[in-house]
Chain A
């Protein structure tokens, strides 16, 4: 075989040529480039000035902010509140441990060849919530009790999202199996449950949880506000989770069900040993995506009076001690959410691409 030594006729890739191809290929493209370029240039400059060059980073209180640029000082001064809410300063190490464990469990998931990263993930789904259950509220093992009304900030946001997703997973699996069940009544009940929750906005669910739940329960029995919000979020989220998992169940070829039947496995063994392991693996990207939207939706709890990260910032920007810091506060929260959501969505896209190729070849 003759190996070619000929090289393609080089299209000299000078910047001018690149620009002609990618920016000015036709008259309307040139026009677009000029207009969009103008908008970008005129907005980036002032934005950079505001956020960096004219901004104030150092100082003790509002009087140290010049007002010419962003007052980042506000963020650094109130950072503790934004992260821990009213959690007592001397006990914040307990929350820090949880942050650390969370990182230990999930950062390896982003690293392709991390040894035993599966086990870190399993720890994150099982051990982590158990430790958190004892550590954060305290009250056992000689730990001082911290009322859930004192929890707040980023910590509360993470708790809501994490428990919401974790608790809705098993309910979602059951609902998805129910919706695909051959028993008409089970199927009907699952469909009604799923469709009703999916049809209503989360706010109505949260209102319902905070207003109606106390009415539903027998007298004398009551939950604190956080618990009620969590119940509402979990029920609502499990309906979405069920639909994601149902997608995975449908993607498993009929042959797998038939093979399990042929091996003499009963319903639960067939589902638990053959179908669900495959289906759940397929829907990890879907679950991650629902996590992202739940994570963003947790901000709604501020409407029923919980102080999540947006809630803490919102309550501070109206603080008379600081003036005109709303934009800085919102930018800070936006940045927190953006980092999490963008990072996680990239992760799920990678996973999707990998699963995609895995199935085709």
Chain B
């Protein structure tokens, strides 16, 4: 045997010992298995649907929905189509996600920094917040806000009043709606001018630094201009803003903007819960900047504030942003818990009511999952681009 192999020319191995052939075989096997499983599922599904009298296809999207939705950003009434309910649900999901992301980011950064505070009390209170909130299921927190807190509010007639313009009761929070009058254009104009001025000041400050080395407090001055100019314009134009104050009409309030309790509870719970995770991300991001970096910065004579701004934060942000986006994604996905308290998000409206009425589970589930997949994949794509852009260059 041995001799034979030495004498013979280096022939290829027998096909079933050739790794390439093997790998090809396994892959074909895998594809075949997937196709077979898919085929069986499709066949089962089709025959099941037929026997249950469920129609197929996306024609149902044009049929009349016939049910009301308590809140919609796009015009909707029950005579509109199922396709319209999809848009209502999607916009509601996007609304609560966007509101949640903004609030959770603000709160999360504050708590994350507070956790590292030299103030003992502040640090401990933040620690307490993080450890309590993130170890309690989100759904429970949503229930707590919705049933225990907002549900316990008084009825519209006994509303809690804030300055006679804002009303809080178990039907929601009613706030005045600003209605712009003639002359409000001046305020917009002032805002535009302020933005232009800020851009101008930034370029000027840079030029002056180049020439004289003096550093201009660009940030503080920019904020001041952005606030002062529009406010000034507002008063010069004679306060061209009227408020549509909500008022009690019969059993409920009319006018103004209504934040329904479902939205408020979901928003509160999502923001508070996600903030506890963001706080931990922020904390570990800041701690990830090595001690050597701050030491080097101090050795160069940079005071603490500048060390933080020029050395620590730019490096911490690179560590913070990737997990931060995945928290945003989680928040968007978690907004689907809306269905438990009846906030009309995509899952509640489309996967809930629409699916129940039409029975077209496959199509509805496929559309809903496609939406979440699209959101998720587009954010990861942006994330990858960002990561590539800021990646610290190595050899």
Chain A residues packing against B (C-beta within 8 Å)? 22-23, 25, 29, 32-33, 36-37, 40, 182-186, 189, 195-196, 198-204, 207-208, 211-212, 214-219, 292, 296-297, 299-300, 302-303, 310, 314, 317, 324, 326-327, 330, 333-334, 337-338, 341-342, 345
Residues of B within 8 A of A297 (CB): 137
The answer on a CB contact under 8 Å between B119 and A33 is yes
Residues of B within 8 A of A204 (CB): 336, 347, 351, 365, 368-369, 372
Residue of B whose beta carbon sits closest to that of A326: B148
Q: Check: B373 CB closer than 8 A to any chain A CB.
A: yes
B369 to chain A, nearest CB (A): 5
Q: Sort A-B residue pairs by CB-CB distance and give the 6 closest, nearest first.
A: A199-B376, A341-B135, A22-B120, A201-B333, A185-B27, A296-B137
Residues of A within 8 A of B30 (CB): 185-186, 189
Q: Check: B195 CB closer than 8 A to any chain A CB.
A: no
- Of B117, B140, B373, the most chain A CB neighbours within 10 A belong to B140
The answer on a CB contact under 8 Å between B118 and A310 is no
Q: Which residue of A36, A215, A216, A338 contacts B136 across the interface (Cβ within 8 Å)?
A: A338
**Known contacts A204-B368, A218-B44, A303-B339; is A314 also within 8 Å of B136 by CB?**
no
The answer on a CB contact under 8 Å between A215 and B361 is yes
- A sample of 21 inter-chain contacts (CB < 8 A) reads A23-B119, A32-B117, A36-B121, A186-B27, A189-B34, A196-B373, A199-B376, A200-B376, A204-B336, A204-B365, A215-B49, A297-B137, A300-B337, A302-B139, A303-B340, A324-B152, A326-B151, A330-B147, A337-B135, A338-B135, A345-B135
Q: Which residue of A29, A189, A200, A333 contacts B372 across the interface (Cβ within 8 Å)?
A: A200
Chain B residues packing against A (C-beta within 8 Å)? 23, 26-27, 30-31, 34, 41, 44-45, 47-49, 51, 117-122, 125, 131-132, 135-140, 143-144, 147-148, 151-152, 333-334, 336-337, 339-340, 347, 351, 355, 361-362, 365, 368-369, 372-373, 375-377
Residues of B within 8 A of A182 (CB): 23
Q: Which residue of B117, B125, B143, B369 contacts A310 across the interface (Cβ within 8 Å)?
A: B143
Total residue contacts A-B, CB cutoff 8 A: 156
B40 to chain A, nearest CB (A): 8
A220 to chain B, nearest CB (A): 11
The answer on a CB contact under 8 Å between B351 and A184 is no
**Known contacts A186-B26, A216-B41, A338-B135; is A37 also within 8 Å of B121 by CB?**
yes
The answer on a CB contact under 8 Å between B147 and A326 is yes
The answer on a CB contact under 8 Å between B139 and A300 is yes
A5 to chain B, nearest CB (A): 31
The answer on a CB contact under 8 Å between B373 and A200 is yes
The answer on a CB contact under 8 Å between B347 and A22 is no
Residue of B whose beta carbon sits closest to that of A40: B125
**Known contacts A204-B365, A204-B372; is A183 also within 8 Å of B51 by CB?**
no
